[in-house]
Amino acid sequence: MGFYSPLPLAAALAALAALGLAWWRWRRVPRSRPPTLRPVGTVSGLFVYPIKSCRGVAVERAQVTELGLRSGDLRDRCWLVIKEDGHMVTARQEPRLVLISITNENGCLNLRAPEMEDLHIPATLSIKNSVHNCRIFGTDIQGRDCGEEAAQWITAFLKSESYRLVHFEPNMTPRKSKDLVDPFRSSDKIAYPDLGPVMVLSEASLEDLNSRLDKKVQMRNFRPNILVTGCGPHEEDTWDEIVIGDVEMKGAMACPRCIFTTIDPDTGIMDRKEPLETLKSYRLCDPSEQHIYKSHPLFGWYFGIDKTGTIQVGDLVYKISW
């Protein structure tokens, strides 16, 4: 559904109210003239990825915190698989991680995987559980161990060396996106994501890519937090500042894509070529930005959080222009 579709009266009034409030909020930065807020799309999907590299959870409504999306006990990329020495493990090394699905019931995360009994992990862990120093892309961050049963379950499913599952708790110190790459601001914070708090992708960008591929890929290959319809391919690249619901976000940089995108989310098998090779044929950065993106193709856009709040499927996306 595009943003030109008629909204029910209640939804329209709510959107107008949010729009009016947003105008007042932009007084925080002195400008020569007031901003223009233009609808550029509609939220068509929201996704939380509780365990880094595992299957996402589609939700109708989500809180947007300074660290990213949250739905109940499910916080985006706040659980992480690590080696015994604390180094992260992702689907780049263990592609079958994408087959692990997560639900949230009765204060527990419930993990399910093919040919495995379900695993139930308390969302709030005992303080007796040890805290690990973890290493993610050269930066350090803590995580509380989820226990021996979780470690054995993950290790058995992956048929791997001994791995642990850890949880980033609210009192722990997050990483700063700017320490990883310069386009982010010092206020942009993350737990276990690669780079930024929120990643936005348009359906049109995916459709454009699939028009170039012999074998179509899914949205799940790219793992956005917010999926948007009603805009053109890669228009999300041009959204410097946006408002969704009562949430304000600031565009930071494109999402550089890697071999992860070649993992089939249904089988956990890594192709190592597509869709990455096709993306490289038309989505490389300008030479002036190679110090940021190197040879990675770009697909989707990272955003930092200016104002937290709640968003839901069906919300209009407004672009702010000055």
192 found inside a domain:
yes
* 226: CATH: 2.40.33.20
pLDDT exceeds 80 at position 32: no
2 found inside a domain:
no
Q: What is the pLDDT of residue 125?
A: 98
As a whole number, mean pLDDT of residues 125-148 equals 98
pLDDT in tens, 203-218: 999 999 999 999 999 9
Of 31-35, 53-57, 222-226, which gets the smallest average pLDDT?
A: 31-35
pLDDT band for position 3 (50/70/90)? very low
Q: Which structural domain, as residue segments, surrounds residue 284?
A: 9-321
Q: Virtual CA dihedral for 276, 278, 283, 286, nearest 10 degrees? A: 90
208 found inside a domain:
yes
Is-above-0.85 flag for pTM?
A: yes
pLDDT in tens, 153-190: 999 999 999 999 999 999 999 999 999 999 999 999 99
Structural domain count of the chain: 1
pLDDT in tens, 258-299: 999 999 999 999 999 999 999 999 999 999 999 999 999 999
4 found inside a domain:
no
